[in-house]
Amino acid sequence: MSDKCFTRMGDGEGIWMSKEQIREEVLAGMEDAIVKGKAQPMTGGDVDYLVEILTMPEKNVSVERGHEGITTFDAGTLKMAVRSGLPIDSSTALLIHERALCSDTMEICNTDYSYKQIKNIVYEEAMAMERAQMNCIMPIFYGAMPNMGLYTKPDGPVENWSELLPQGKVLEALEAQEKAAELCTNDMVYIGSILAEAGACGIQFDTAGASGDADMLAALQASKILSQKYPDLSITMGMANEFTLGMHGRLKFEGEKLAGQYPAKQVKTAADAGVHSYGPVINTNSSKSFAWNLSRSLTHVQEATRAATIPVLPNVGMGVGGIPLTTTSPTDATTRVAKAMLEIGKADGL
Amino acid sequence: MALMHEMAAGMGGIRTAGDLVARMVMKGMKIDAAKEYVANKLGCSVFDLSDSAKMKEIRESLDIGTVVLRPHGSNGMAAKIKIAELLDIKIPSVELFKKQTGKSF
């Protein structure tokens, strides 16, 4: 094993690879992003440095001094009080993050992380935000997902386009998506406005585009309205995928077709909507190596940071951005992703 | 996982100038511009921003909140009122607090 380096698969399983094998994986991952995403290749120097990061003998690594970025969250207050089962409320979770973990920002959210589901409890969420703002120094976002699929019957009022399309009812499917996007936009503006007036530092639209281009359109429209209505409110948008799925296929925002957009175009579209920071998502392929996944993610992220006029904060949670697809990401992989995203991807934070 | 990202690549929150830089990034500034802006306002170097020893002194002298509470030291909203003034920005919760109290700071 002496000539082999410990690394991982995309599902987190530990494996041993030679440095040459890791380089091959890096080149193959980069090639996938070039072919599918039309991204530019990383430079030879970047490839060498990525191989160096991947083969460092240290268990955990960090950025060089001065290369730090800011950290943000999705599902912020869900993680301690709900997923980890700590018997604390969200305001305590915020203060643990501020005073014990020293997070740069945090996010308040509801267990059902979808804007539609928050309508009935939005004033309670607003009161939680007001109380949190009295105690916290760091910036606090409120976040949830557009999750436009929730507007389909039987949970919502709109016909389900995923059922209409196989029946050949194409026009009905298009109309259903357009109607759902309108309802979703209205809900996000309504909830975002109440949270903004409760003193939220920012609003997060997370996993935008999960139901396709109409879902993305709803998030963009809500961002535009809120950014104009509340000039001091920060809006951040995290994506659902490395490309915007064309479930509708014809939708445009400010003249730009949304379907098929990769991060370099997504970030420009987000900026046009008044979004202040953008989080690309590059999904991890659990059957491929960690090296392949991280290289592919970095190639996409570099393409986005080259094009961006706003900060780029790549999503690096479970199963995205090169992070293995497992609920407990190994720290060696997590820290390598963080280092590479800032130093090679040129991200502004995470 | 969040903790590992913060340790590996984060600014350091209120241990350093992480919250301050984050406020400028949230306004749409790229990270280098945000660091430069905050360093100028604090009167320190960009390098100092992520040095927790240096920033502890700076934060204490400006009374803008520290990890370890101090008697009569500003915390929460009081610290943010000073941060808004220091960075010359509007913080929504500070604006709301002014409105609720009928005070201007």
Return phi, psi of residue A43, to 5°: -70, 165
Place of tokens 């991060």: A263
The encoded tokens of residue B72 equal 């009569």
The predicted pLDDT at position A3 comes to 86
What is the rounded CA–CA span in Å between residue A275 and residue B28? 8
**B12 with B58: CB under 8 angstroms?**
no
Tell if the CB–CB gap between B76 and A316 is shorter than 8 Å: no
* Predicted TM-score (pTM) of this structure: 0.95
The predicted-structure confidence for A138-151, as pLDDT tens digits, reads as follows 999 999 999 999 99
User: Would you say residue A161 has pLDDT above 80?
Assistant: yes
Q: Tell me the chain B residues in contact with residue A61 when contact means C-beta distances shorter than 8 Å.
A: 8
The whole-angstrom separation of Cα B101 and Cα B75 is 18
Average pLDDT, chain A: 96
Stronger pLDDT, A327 or A271, i.e. the higher one: A271
- How confident is the model over A270-305, as pLDDT tens digits? 999 999 999 999 999 999 999 999 999 999 999 999
Do residues B8 and A66 touch, judged by C-beta distance below 8 A?
A: no
- Amino acid, res. B11: M
pLDDT of residue B1: 84
Tokens coding A300: 């996409």
Q: What is the pLDDT of residue B104?
A: 77
Query: Would you state the pLDDT for residue B34?
Result: 98
A85: domain CATH number is 3.20.20
Exposed/middle/buried for residue B70 (C-beta within 10 Å: 0-12, 13-18, 19+): exposed
User: What is residue A320's predicted lDDT score, i.e. its pLDDT?
Assistant: 96
SS3 A1: coil
- A63 in contact with B, Cβ within 8 Å: yes
Domain that holds residue A190: 4-343
Domains of chain B, residue spans: 2-101
Q: How many structural domains are present in chain A?
A: 1
ipTM: 0.96
Residues of B in contact with A201 (CB under 8 A): 23, 26, 91-93
- pLDDT (tens digit per residue) in A189-239: 999 999 999 999 999 999 999 999 999 999 999 999 999 999 999 999 999
B-interface mutation test, from A71, A131, A201, A335, most B Cβ less than 10 A away: A71
pLDDT at A75: 86
Single-letter residue type at A300? H
- pLDDT > 70 in chain A, percent: 99
Residue of chain B with shortest Cα separation from A227: B27
Cβ-based contacts of A79 with chain B (< 8 Å): 2
Q: Do the chains contact at A99 and B14, CB–CB below 8 Å? A: yes
Has residue A114 got a pLDDT over 80? yes
Is 70 exceeded by the pLDDT of residue A2? no
Is A118 exposed, middle or buried, given 0-12, 13-18 or 19+ CB atoms closer than 10 A? buried
Mean pLDDT of A45-58: 97
**Shortest Cα–Cα distance, A6 to chain B (Å):** 19
From first to last of the 105 residues of chain B, give the pLDDT tens digit.
Answer: 888 999 999 999 999 999 999 999 999 999 999 999 999 999 999 999 999 999 999 999 999 999 998 999 999 999 999 999 999 999 999 999 999 999 877
**Is residue A252 a contact partner of residue A285, using CB atoms and an 8 Å limit?**
no
- The confidence band for A1, taking pLDDT boundaries of 50, 70 and 90, is low
Q: What is the pLDDT of residues B69-82, one digit of tens each?
A: 899 999 999 999 99
How far, in Å, CA of A26 to CA of A106, rounded? 33
Specify the pLDDT at position A83. 86
Overall average pLDDT of the A317-341 stretch: 95
Window A:320-349, CB contacts with B under 8 Å: 323, 329, 331, 334-335, 338-339, 341-342, 348-349
A26 contacts chain B (CB < 8 A): no
